[in-house]
Amino acid sequence: MMLSLDPVWPAFFLSMKVAGWATFFTLILGVSVGYFLARVNFRGRDLVDSFLTLPMVLPPTVLGYYLLVLLGREGAIGFWLQGYGISLIFTWQGAVIAATIVSFPLVFKPARAAFESVDGQLEQAARVLGLSEISLFFRVTLPLAWRGIMAGLLLAFARAMGEFGATLMIAGSIPGKTQTLSIAIYEAVQAGQDDLATLFVLITSFICIVVLLSASYLAPGRIAYRG
Amino acid sequence: MYLDVDIQKTFSSANRHFELNVRFQSDSQRIVIFGPSGSGKSLTLKAIAGLIKIDQGHIRLDSRVLTDRNKKISLTPQQRNLAYLFQDYALFPHLTVRQNISFGLTKGWLNPAPKKPFAAVNYWLEAFELETLADQLPDQLSGGQRQRTALARALVAKPQALLLDEPFTALDADLRHVMRKELDQLQQQLQVPIIMITHDPEDVAIFGQHVLTIKNGRIISDDVG
């Protein structure tokens, strides 16, 4: 029997869309928070760092539960959003939020380490040469930290694409709407469609291998995780 | 150049307490602040450049007030129009020699394009015989070429004064001799005022028109040659 690729595309494109947006948001959030923690010394900085790293170690179902509590109809944010007619539960945007939170530490950790490793003297040199703080960030600091950040971003993309637990809890598994590749695998196995599951699994594995290879090419042993 | 420095700053940490209390005036074109490491000479130079804030006092350069705590004036390093040659040059490792030299000539969010021609940059590339190296990155340069690049970057914007932090320590003995001579001639030719900090008596012998000896954060001798 010839296996049709038709059921693959919706899940594939949805996974790409969710992982793409999640990577975009982790870029903005991870770089700003990483820069802030690298440069501003305040009491409780280590506590904030640990708290922000939690999504890396917490079971995704726990994160999914927190998100439900926050974003659900009764939740603090969910109730407020409902006033504007917005509901994030069972939507692909909800899946983006779940994937963003889960992959955030993978960007913010290496970003912080990369910013900390930029020689402060180069920034001083740029100041004396007349550059504003924002210009020197884009012309000196960010380019020098970029490799570390980029490696983190690729890992974040792979992690976002593989997100399962939190996504299932907040966005559910609606085919063509919130059913991403990793959720489709689970559904296919449950329904006894082993051929389809194999196909999904091979596609997912292939993408992850490509992403990991690019990440290791970008940063050969250069990412130092600091606590 | 007329320079009037009167600064106090206290540094305190768990295991170190240091008081910087430096006062001098000079109308020399070549000021050398001489002292051992940890004497406060580097901090003094950074204070003049605006890279550290002082607790008390003032710094005036010609008719300009760079900082004055009583009047609550403190120009940022960007506003001071000074050039600073760092001990290990602080060249931007991701930019070519040409981009490094033209770095301060554009102030926007983007670095100057690798091929962007600036007349002033071309002049310095030629003057320092760096034309063939213009497209190289700093880590492909020798020590002397690095120093010339850093000097060109410092001088291209026509600063009011050139601050030099131990300019020759990163070089080996032969090259040190050559570069010292080069800077000596360059200063006479450009008539740009220099303020140099060093622990090397040879620097004092060549550049010390006005020599200030510093120890434990205080000027202990003040000789105008």
Q: Which residue of A has its CA nearest to B154?
A: A129
Pair A107, A153: CB distance under 8 Å? yes
What topology does CATH give the domain A8-218?
MetI-like fold (1.10.3720)
- Rounded Cα distance between B56 and B49, Å, is 16
CB contact under 8 A, B92 and A125: yes
Which residue type does A24 have? F
Residues 6+ apart with CB under 8 A from B135: B96, B97, B98, B114
Site of tokens 């296996």: A3
Kindly state the average pLDDT of the residues B125-147: 93
Q: Is B78 contained in some domain? A: no
Q: How far apart are the first and last CA of chain A?
A: 53
B9 forms bridges with which residues in the sheet? B20
Residues B62-73: what's their mean pLDDT? 93
Sign of CA dihedral A112, A115, A117, A121: negative
Averaged pLDDT score across all residues of chain A = 89
Q: Averaged over A186-208, what is the pLDDT?
A: 92
Residue ranges covered by each domain of chain A: 8-218
Alpha helices by DSSP H, chain B? 41-49, 97-102, 119-127, 143-155, 173-190, 201-207
Neighboring chain A residues of B108 at a CB cutoff of 8 Å: 135
Q: Does A121 touch chain B (CB under 8 A)?
A: yes
In percent, the amount of chain B with pLDDT more than 90 equals 88
The terminus-to-terminus CA distance of chain B in angstroms comes to 16
Calculate mean pLDDT across residues A119-141: 95
Asked if residue B125 is part of any domain, the answer here is: yes
* DSSP, res A159: H
The answer to whether B108 contacts chain A (CB < 8 Å) is: yes
Tracing tokens 């509590």 back to the chain, one arrives at A69
Model confidence pLDDT, tens digit, residues B23-49:
999 999 999 999 998 899 999 999 999
Residue A2: pLDDT band (50, 70, 90) is low
pLDDT at position A60 over 70: yes
Torsion of Cα atoms, B55 then B56 then B62 then B63, to 10°? 110
Among candidate residues B21, B26, B23, the one with its CA nearest the CA of residue B1: B26
pLDDT band at A224 (very low <50, low <70, confident <90, very high): very low
Amino acid (1-letter code) at residue B139: D
Name the percent of chain A lying above pLDDT 70.
Answer: 95
pLDDT of residue A3: 65
Q: Is residue B183 part of a domain?
A: no
Is residue B13 a part of any domain in this protein?
no
Range from A45-54, A186-195, A212-221, B75-84 carrying the lowest mean pLDDT: A212-221
Would you say residue B169 lies in a domain? Answer: no
Instruction: Give residue A120's pLDDT.
Output: 93
Asked whether residue B172 is assigned to any structural domain, the reply reads: no
Tokens 């804030």: give the residue.
Answer: B53
Q: Is residue B4 a part of any domain in this protein?
A: no
This complex has an ipTM of: 0.92
Here the contacts of B130-133 (C-beta below 8 Å, separation 24 or greater) are B130/B97, B133/B97
Taking residue B162's Cβ as centre, other Cβ atoms within 10 Å add up to 22
pLDDT interval class at A73 (50, 70, 90): confident
| B146 lies within 8 A of chain A by CB | no
Q: What's the pLDDT band for A179 if we cut at 50, 70, 90? A: very high
From the number of C-beta atoms within 10 Å of its C-beta (0-12, 13-18, 19+), residue B172 rates as exposed
Domain that holds residue B124: 96-159
pLDDT beyond 80 at A101: yes
**Alpha helical stretches, state H, A117-193:** 120-128, 133-136, 142-162, 165-171, 181-190
Q: Contacts of residue A127 in chain B, CB cutoff 8 Å?
A: 50-51, 76-78
Separation between Cα atoms, residue A29 and residue A136, nearest integer Å: 20
Least Cα separation, residue A146 to chain B (angstroms): 11
Joined tokens for residue B52: 């550290």
Domain count, chain B: 1
Q: Where are the alpha helices (H) located in B10-142, listed in sequence order?
A: 41-49, 97-102, 119-127
User: What is the percent of chain B where pLDDT is above 70?
Assistant: 100
Q: Domain for residue B111, yes or no? A: yes
- Please report which helix (H) or strand (E) contains residue B61, including its range: strand B56-61
